Amino acid sequence: MGYWDTRRVLVTGGAGFLGGAVVEKLRARGCREVIVPRSREYNLVEGEAVRRLYREAHPDLVIHLAARVGGIGANRDNPARFLYENLMMGVQVIDEAYRAGVQKCVAIGTVCAYPKFTAVPFNEQALWDGYPEETNAPYGLAKKMLLVQCQAYRLQYGFNAIYLLPANLYGPWDSFDLHVSHVIPAVIRKCVEAVREGRRRVDMWGTGSATREFLYVDDAAEGILLAAERYNKPAPVNLGTGAEISIAELVRMIANLSGFSGEIHWDASKPDGQPRRCLDVSRAEKEFGFRASVSLDEGLRRTVEWYRQQGG
């Protein structure tokens, strides 16, 4: 009998971008009881809704993916909302999991939790070496408190809660809404639309000099499930590829895949965000055998093609 065969798994955010990939992989692994709460029925910011969810769902294992997320612009415009909603969701989902007798909780953090100036590659021990980059610090700190909570509940109550730090995610089914999207879907949309409309220029935020690491959504889902199956320690774990790319180079790759050959105009009045991001991914491979399998070029190709097929 497999690990997932008899487990009831609650996936908060299971109808979202990453959640959809996690749910699909859970079912492929033989998990027959996957509970995906919808926000219209259970507002996880509200304590009573979280308690009602646990009373009705009776999960054995919780994967907490629900989050209020967005790119630099959305973080800059909604710092209080991003802090409050992410903090309240996480605190209550983990606390009520413990109180309900859940066997294990997998909490998903964010690379935004790392200090603004962190030595590359980011090692998990560097999490507390400084303050996060200002534009997404409220979000990053709210998510970092989940690590504190997981470790505190393990220490005091013996609660098996683990914490994972994925790199920037991308892939099909991401949000391509320019008001809230992250960099890859935003650039794909701009380039594809420019080609379709015959425009010879696209505008990009910042200078293009910042670097990022990107993890294909299916790889992230695989890493999360491997950790759920095999990892039971308090230390946080990065999930990524260990590969760094500048935003300028990323935009050129997407432009080529989209067939856009016009001018790329950089608006230096807009923020770049954190100067560099690249993760040390050795702990994930050592502890639970995770290694990303989809290259950035292949992942971008799949994502551009998917967006075109959706009529983008």
- What integer pLDDT is reported at residue 196 of this predicted model? 94
Predicted confidence at residue 52, as pLDDT, reads 98
From 42, 98, 114, 139, the catalytic residue = 139
Residues counted in the chain: 312
Pairing of strands 161-166, 237-239: parallel
Give the closest residue to 44 by CA, choosing from 80, 69, 70, 68. Answer: 68
Q: At what angle do helices 247-258 and 183-197 cross, to 10 degrees?
A: 40
Q: Give the pLDDT score at 72.
A: 74
- Give the residue extent of every domain in the chain: 8-170+215-242+278-293
| Mean pLDDT in consecutive groups of 10 residues from the start of the chain, 312 residues | 94 97 98 96 97 98 92 84 96 98 98 95 97 93 97 98 97 89 93 96 95 98 98 98 97 97 95 92 98 98 96 73
- Please check whether residue 189 is in contact with residue 307, taking contact to mean a CB–CB distance below 8 angstroms: yes
Indicate if 114 belongs to the active site.
Answer: no
Which of the listed CATH numbers 3.40.50.1820, 3.40.50.300, 3.40.50.720, 3.40.50.12280 matches domain 8-170+215-242+278-293? 3.40.50.720
Q: Which amino acid is at 211?
A: T
The alpha helices in 131-216, defined as continuous H runs, are: 137-157, 183-197
Other C-beta atoms lying within 10 Å of the C-beta of residue 173 = 17
pLDDT at 120: 96
Bridge partners (DSSP) of residue 105 are 62, 161
